[in-house]
């Protein structure tokens, strides 16, 4: 809405008139939040969203991937971190992409290993599905968890 302001003098008095003029605002474009192409269900060894591993040890996380799209997708798991995966953390998963049928599920796993000289402490890691080809109007999904290195 645009306001038109009119000043005037009548006799010795000053007056102010304000008249509203409706206008059509420009369209507002909000960023579109894409729906995920799949879901991940991680089976944690103890507490949900938390993994503890001793120095020099490893943990295997079973993961179920479920398709949410109407077309086959090729996917494999990868480990992610906010900045970068620490040098003392290694992970293993299937190297090849697996085909996930529309609405179907696959079971896979990721093994995370910590070196003997890893510093003690907690940080955030994530498991995501890496798609071989992007899916139109769909996005990937990452499940983050607290990863704690324990030991003496």
Q: What's 121's domain CATH number?
A: 2.60.40.10
The per-residue pLDDT for 141 is: 87
Residue 4 has pLDDT above 90, yes or no: no
Range of the domain at 138: 35-150
Residue 19 lies in a domain: no
Whether 58 is covered by a domain: the verdict is yes
14 part of a folded domain: no
Q: State how many domains the chain has.
A: 1
* pLDDT above 80 for 13: no
Q: pLDDT tier at 32 (50, 70, 90 boundaries)?
A: low
Whether the per-residue pLDDT at 89 is higher than 70: the answer is yes
The answer to whether residue 4 sits within a structural domain is no
Residue 27: inside a domain: no
Q: Give a yes or no: residue 28 inside a domain.
A: no
Residue 130 lies in a domain: yes
How far apart (Å, rounded) are the C-alpha atoms in residues 34 and 46?
32
Residue 124 in any domain: the answer is yes
pLDDT of 136 strictly over 70 = yes
- Per-residue pLDDT averaged across 118-122, rounded? 95
3-state secondary structure the chain: CEEEEEEEEECCEEEEEEEEECCCCCCCCCCCCCEECEEEEECCCCCCCEEEEECCCEEEEEEEEEECCCCCEEEEEEEEECCCCCCCEEEECCCCCEEECCCCEEEEEEEEEECCCCCCEEEEEEEEEEECCCCCCEECCEEEEEEEEECC
Q: What is the mean pLDDT of the chain?
A: 83
């Amino acid at each position: 809405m645009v306001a038109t302001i009119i000043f005037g003098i009548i006799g010795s008095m000053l007056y102010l008139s304000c008249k509203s003029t409706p206008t059509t605002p420009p369209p507002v474009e909000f960023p579109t939040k894409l729906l995920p192409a799949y879901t991940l269900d991680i089976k944690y060894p103890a507490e949900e969203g938390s993994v503890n591993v001793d120095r020099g040890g490893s943990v295997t996380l079973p993961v179920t991937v479920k398709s949410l799209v109407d077309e086959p997708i090729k996917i494999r798991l990868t480990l992610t971190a906010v900045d970068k995966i620490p040098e003392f953390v290694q992970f293993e998963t299937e190297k090849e992409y697996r085909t996930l049928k529309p609405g179907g599920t696959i079971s896979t796993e990721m093994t995370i290993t910590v070196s003997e000289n890893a510093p003690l402490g907690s940080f955030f890691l994530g498991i995501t599905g890496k798609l071989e080809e992007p899916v139109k109007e769909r996005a990937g999904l990452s499940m983050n968890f607290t990863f704690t290195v324990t030991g003496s």
